């Protein structure tokens, strides 16, 4: 159940990052990205995500953040 909670939280933070990008506020995008990467790292640290899966999710988050600045 703990692993499920951690993976669900990561998905929620992805949605929050996408909403921040849609809103266009650069400070909010940076804050949400930082929070998302932290949640991904914690999930991988506790074994809820495989390390390669975590790396892939962080790369996806970086692409979403980059899209906001362009």
Provide block-wise average pLDDT over 10 residues at a time, the chain (70 residues).
96 96 93 97 96 98 90
Question: Which of 68, 19, 38 lies closest to 58 in space, CA to CA?
Answer: 38
Question: Which of 25, 53, 43 lies closest to 33 in space, CA to CA?
Answer: 25
Q: Which overall architecture, per CATH, does domain 2-69 show?
A: Up-down Bundle (1.20)
Question: Which of 3, 15, 17 lies closest to 48 in space, CA to CA?
Answer: 3
CB count within 10 Å of CB 29 equals 22
What is the reported pLDDT for 9?
A: 97
Q: Where are the domains of the chain?
A: 2-69
What is the reported pLDDT for 47?
A: 95
Q: How far is CA 9 from the centre of its chain?
A: 9
Average pLDDT over the chain, rounded to whole? 95
What is the reported pLDDT for 59?
A: 98
What is the reported pLDDT for 45?
A: 96
């Amino acid at each position: 159940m703990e692993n499920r909670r951690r993976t669900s939280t990561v998905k929620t933070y992805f949605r929050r990052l996408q909403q921040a990008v849609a809103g266009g506020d650069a400070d909010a995008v940076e804050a949400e990205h930082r929070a998302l990467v932290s949640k991904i790292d914690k999930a991988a640290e506790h074994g809820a995500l495989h390390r390669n899966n975590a790396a892939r999710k962080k790369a996806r988050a970086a692409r979403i953040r980059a899209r906001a600045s362009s």
